[in-house]
Amino acid sequence: MRTKAVATAALLVLGLTACGAEIAPKESATSSAHYPVTVENCGQRLTFAQKPARVVTNDVNITELMLSLGLADRMAGYVMPDDKGKIDQVAWKDGYQQTKWLSEQRITKEIALDAKADLVFAGWHYGFDEGTGVTPQAFKALGVDSYVLSESCRSGRGTERGVMDPLEALYTDLANLGAIFDVKDRSDKLIADFKARIAAVPPPERRPSVFLYDSGQDKPYTAGKFAAANEIIAKAGGSNIMGDLADTWVTAGWEGVVERDPEVIVINDYATPGAEEKRRFLKSFPPLAGVSAIRNDRIFVMDYVDLVESPRNPAAVGALAAYLRTVPPR
């Protein structure tokens, strides 16, 4: 999640009361009785006086959290690089047609204000970034509150991210969205379905070791303990060799990869370079020549949106599990 994907790969932000926002549609008496509603997000309590009506989301995974709950009609639009693609392959593809693609670049304060957002949904390194000045605090100063993607919650130790198991982060955000938008029946059903699908994945006879390769040649960018990819690997029956790193997406060292000798390498496919170029690099990189995954050509490619917190995670667990079952004992 480097290059332009990094700019859109981190925190979900929900704005509450943007200045100048258009008047929300009239709510029914039943819906109005639901409010105010308070949820906890990354250790903060957020209170919504009414159902947000003009949400701006950042990145494909965050956008699809909204669409999976049928909330396209509550969105002012989404920000997402065009290299995230493949949006025509998901069950909620029609939702993309019901809202507006605001930008193929990174989210900015101007984009949110131009869209008259009353909620910005993003995450740390999924749009929120002190370096660009795009933060929940900056939106609050403009009259727009934020909701942060739970996978990207900061731990309080510098900029380290991750405060809960990654799939728990997915269920937490779905439950919070269900409360915020008064669609608890939908969120409860989706959470139950996701848990059932993951529980139905056959348990492994053993756990092949897996290295998640995102990007980087001098040093690899990979998935630590709190990245969604770590739990996807675990639920699929593998063992993430970098699962002891207490962060989400993090830079590691090639020495550690060689020492831990993964049996499988999973490539995170997005942006440039593409998956085939990453594969060629890994197979030609001299320090990796003796690594089991390279010697046996066990390289599995997955899409970016499969490997970050998103409603595609259950399907990703199933796909990776099927591949790991083909890996013979050492």
pLDDT of residue 31: 64
At 152, phi and psi to the nearest 5?
-100, 5
Report the C-alpha gap between 293 and 326 in whole angstroms.
13
- Return the CA Rg of the chain: 20
The CATH number of domain 3-198, selected from 3.40.50.1980, 3.40.47.10, 3.40.50.620, 3.40.720.10: 3.40.50.1980
The H-or-E segment that residue 148 falls in is strand 146-148
Instruction: Tell me the three state secondary structure of residue 138.
Output: helix
Altogether, the residues listed in the chain come to a count of 330
- Domain 209-324, classified CATH 3.40.50.1980, yes or no: yes
pLDDT of residue 283: 98
Q: Could you identify the residue written with the tokens 């998103």?
A: 310
Report domain extents, the chain. 3-198, 209-324
Domains 3-198 and 209-324 share a fold: yes
Check if the beta carbon of residue 8 is closer than 8 Å to that of residue 58. yes
Tell me the pLDDT tens digit for each residue of 199-250: 999 988 899 999 999 999 999 999 999 999 999 999 999 999 999 998 899 9
Report the C-alpha gap between 76 and 63 in whole angstroms.
11
Report, as ranges of residue numbers, the positions in the chain whose pLDDT lies below 70. 1-31, 83-86, 88-89
pLDDT of residue 91: 78
Q: Could you identify the residue written with the tokens 């529980």?
A: 199
In angstroms, the Cα distances linking 183 to 12, 47, 169, 291 are 19, 16, 18, 48
In angstroms, the Cα distances linking 118 to 37, 144, 153 are 16, 6, 21
pLDDT of residue 30: 54
pTM here? 0.87
List of long-range contacts for 157-163, beta carbons under 8 Å, 24+ apart: 159/124, 160/246, 160/247, 161/10, 161/124, 161/125, 161/226, 161/247, 161/248, 161/249, 162/224, 162/225, 162/226, 162/227, 162/246, 162/247, 162/248, 163/42, 163/43, 163/226
pLDDT of residue 17: 32
Omega within 30 of 0 (cis) for the link into 208? no
Q: Burial, 19: exposed, middle or buried (Cβ in 10 Å; 0-12, 13-18, 19+)? A: exposed
